A and B are shown apart, each in its own frame.
Chain A
């Protein structure tokens, strides 16, 4: 099946700093990637759909200037949390859709202190 690598698996940062999360499709070209956010003991909420070579499509209520998504190649999408605050602390998961269906990254635990 497909292999998706997400990095880092966890990160702690200070309020006001920015954090970049990478999502790589290792064995196939992914024209579409998805970013989800998961609060403790809650479901996955779709944040945005990332399309290679074009601007991401954000879900209602998601601040595009705060959560910057770049999908510059067919194998890499990045999510940058800008000027992070404690309320941004969460579990972020990427997913790709390809020949094997949907494949998820292992997630990134972000803690903003």
Chain B
């Protein structure tokens, strides 16, 4: 099973600042990686798939980069609605499609 490791566990950022979230895979997942945003009591929301493709309706301030084992989600200018949990998920090896443990983006 591929292990996904996200860092940091918590990221404290001021509104308007840039946030950079990392996700590392224990072996190559090529570009088969997705990012999700999750707020308490809500459905998780797909942000990015294929490592760098924004899902429908996702603002341009969200961007994904990387391939192989190292991936990054960048939020260029944090808005109030962006404070949430973020998960990466690999879907190169199946089953299962493993998730990282999450990064919490909180208001500084």
Asked if chains A and B come from one complex, the reply is no
On A, residues with C-beta under 8 Å from B are none
